[in-house]
Amino acid sequence: MAVFFSIGEKKTRPGVYFRYENRGNPPIAGADDGKGAVTIRSNWGPIGEAVLLESDTDITKVFGNGGDEGTTNVALEMFRGGAQTVRAVRVGSGGTNGTYSIKDSTEEVIKLTLKCPGSRQLSVTIRPTLTDEKVTELLILEGTEQLERHTFNNETDSVNALMAEFAENGSNYFVLSKTKDSENKLATVTQEEITPGTDPEVNNEAYSKAFEILEAYKWNVIVVDTDETAVQTLLQTFVNRIFQEGAFCMDVIGQPTSTAFETRLKQASACNDSQTVYVGSGFIDADGNEYEGYMAAARIAGMIAGTPSNQSITHAALTGAVDLIEKLTNNQYERATTAGMLTFSTSSANTVWVESGINTLVLPSQTEDEGWKKIKRTKVRYELFQRLNDTVEGLVGKINNDPDGRMTVVQVSNAVCNEMVAEKKLLAGAYVEVDPDNAPQGDSAWFVVYADDIDSMEKLYFTFKFRFAPEETE
C-alpha cells in the first residue's frame, strides 16, 4: 500500500512511498489600472469610510447630490476620465442627524432618525395606498423624487406594524425607535419635511484622517476636492510616505485660472515630484460649465488611472470639452511644461486635449533620470514594481536561499519583464539577475532588474527640402 513521505524521512517498512510538488511557477501578476481615490464633502453619506464606487450612479446612491457646498462631482469627473472604480471618503467630523416625529392622532409614537449626519433635505409622506386603503405606505422623498417606500397595516396596532416592517426590510435612509404604544392609526401626512441635521466640520485634520483611511486600500491615483494649498501639501506628503512603504501611486492637484499664471508656475515647480501632477488649466463643456482647479485635476486623475501604461495622455482628448477657459501663448505653454505644470490646449480640429502628460518633477535627483518627468513612464515603472512584487511575494518563506531558490526568483521575475515587453511597455532585452555585487546572506538575497521603459513619440521633426526647379538631364 502506497504511503506518503516527507523530505528527509526514512520509513521503517519496505514499500512504495509518494510525495508531490508543484513544479510550476506562481502566476504572473498583470496590470492593475483604473483605481482612483478621492475625498469629498457632502450633506449625506457615511463619514470616515472608504466607500467603493463602481460606477458614477453609485455616487448619488451613497452621497446624494452633495448639497450646495458639496463636491461629489469630483468622483464623477474621475469616472469621466476613465477610472473604473473610485474609493471615496466623505471628510469631516461631528455633525448631527435629521429627525422626524411620526404621530398618531395626537402625539409622537415613533421617532425617525436619518442614518447619516448632514443637512440633506428629505421629507416624509404617510398615506393609504391607492389600491388598498387598509394598507398604508411610508415614502421618503427628496423634492418630488421618491427614494424609498415601505408598506404596513395601519388598521390595527399600527405602531408595531410599522416597526415590524422596518425590522424586516430595514432602510437606506433612516432608523426607527418606538417612543409610545398606541391603539390609534398613524396620522396621514404629505411631504412633511424631516428636520435636517448639520454637516460635519471639515478642516485639515479631517483630510489627514481621510488619507489614513484610504491608506488601507489599493488605488492608482488620488485627488482631493479642494484647491487649498495646505491640504494639497498634506496630500503630497501622504503620498510620498506611503510610496516609501510600497504603495505605487500618484496624486493630482490643481489651481484655478484665477490664480496668477506666474503663481501657478511657482507652485508646480515647487512640488518637484514624480508622484505629483499639477493641473494649471481649465476647460468648458457644451453647457458652459467650467472645470478647473480640483475639478480639472479629478478629470486628469481619472485619465491617468484608466489609461494603460503603454499609452500616453499627451494629446488625449477631454471628453465633453469644447473650449479652454484660458488660452495660452506658445511661450506660456513652453514655460508651463518646463515648470512641470500640466495644461490643456486645442488641436488643429479644435479638440481640447492634454498638452503634455507631465508631472511636477523638474530637477531629478541623483537616483532619478529624465524619464521620471513623464506620467506614462512613471506609470510603467510603478507597474513593474507592483507586478514584480505581486508575483514574487508568494515565494517569500517558501523557497530556499540557495542557487535553485534564487533561480526561481530570477525566472518568474524575467517572466514579468517578458510580459511587459510583449505589452509594449518595456523594450526588448529587459531581464533580472542575482546582484553580482551583493552576495546572498542567511535569509537575504539581492537582485538587479535591467529594464528600459518605452516613451511615446511626442515630438516629430520634418525637414523639407525644396528647389526652384529640378536639374535638367540630357
Residue 444 has what DSSP assignment? B
* Structural domain includes residue 185: yes
The residue range of the domain holding 188 is 97-193
* Structural domain includes residue 3: no
Q: Which of these, 51, 25, 28, 54, lies nearest to 40 by C-alpha position?
A: 51
Do 294 and 320 fall within a single domain?
Answer: yes
Given 193, 213, 234, the domain boundary residue is 193
Query: What Cα–Cα distance (Å) separates residue 87 from each residue in 216, 223, 238, 246, 439?
Result: 11, 11, 16, 19, 43
Give the per-residue pLDDT at 23: 65
Beta strand segments in 27-144, E: 35-40, 51-53, 85-90, 97-103, 108-117, 123-128, 135-142
Given 149, 164, 193, the domain boundary residue is 193
Give the per-residue pLDDT at 473: 73
Do 149 and 66 fall within a single domain?
Answer: no
Q: Can you give the CATH number for the domain in which 159 is found? A: 2.60.40.4290
* Structural domain includes residue 457: no
In contact, 204 and 97? CB cutoff 8 Å: no
Do 187 and 205 fall within a single domain?
Answer: no
Give the per-residue pLDDT at 363: 96
Do 79 and 217 fall within a single domain?
Answer: yes
Q: Are strands 35-40 and 85-90 parallel, antiparallel or unpaired?
A: parallel
Beta strand segments in 357-401, E: none
* Structural domain includes residue 291: yes
* Structural domain includes residue 298: yes
* Structural domain includes residue 332: yes
* Structural domain includes residue 363: no
Give the per-residue pLDDT at 16: 64
* Structural domain includes residue 389: no
Do 230 and 304 fall within a single domain?
Answer: yes
Do 188 and 228 fall within a single domain?
Answer: no
Do 47 and 185 fall within a single domain?
Answer: no
Given 136, 166, 193, the domain boundary residue is 193
Do 43 and 139 fall within a single domain?
Answer: no
Do 182 and 257 fall within a single domain?
Answer: no
Q: Can you give the CATH number for the domain in which 335 is found? A: 3.40.50.11780
The total number of structural domains that make up the chain:
2
Do 328 and 189 fall within a single domain?
Answer: no
Give the per-residue pLDDT at 24: 66
Residues of the chain with pLDDT under 50: none
Do 258 and 275 fall within a single domain?
Answer: yes
Model confidence pTM above 0.85? yes
Do 113 and 259 fall within a single domain?
Answer: no
Give the per-residue pLDDT at 21: 63
In contact, 167 and 159? CB cutoff 8 Å: no
CB within 8 Å of 99: residues ≥ 6 apart:
111, 112, 113, 114, 194, 195, 197
